[in-house]
Amino acid sequence: MHYENRVFERETVKLDGNSFTRCTFREAVVVYSGGELTMANCAFESFSIKVEGDFARGLDNLHQLFGTDAVLTIIRGILTPPNERQVLAI
């Protein structure tokens, strides 16, 4: 489903299989399992992330291989705008 100019406030939003344009996530729980997702010009305010499925298993595997700091670096990279990202050296 495509969402545009929508404010998700104090609700749980499944990201997989959806697209979001100019949406705001305010005090929302966003759920991601590793599926297809498109986002453009969205804002996140006081949100939390719940990971499930393949994505959660992948993060767990990375944690087992490289430890907590590497997983936190990956998550920070996801949340950092592309022009501010740094390369992770493992």
5/54: higher pLDDT: 5
Residue-level pLDDT at 90: 46
Residue-level pLDDT at 88: 47
In the Cβ-directed half-sphere of 6, how many Cα atoms lie within 13 Å?
14
45/7: higher pLDDT: 7
Residue-level pLDDT at 52: 92
How do residues 23-79 score in pLDDT, each as one tens digit? 999 999 999 998 999 999 999 988 888 989 988 898 889 889 888 888 888 777 776
pLDDT band at 86 (very low <50, low <70, confident <90, very high): low
Residue-level pLDDT at 62: 86
Q: Where are the domains of the chain?
A: 1-51, 53-90
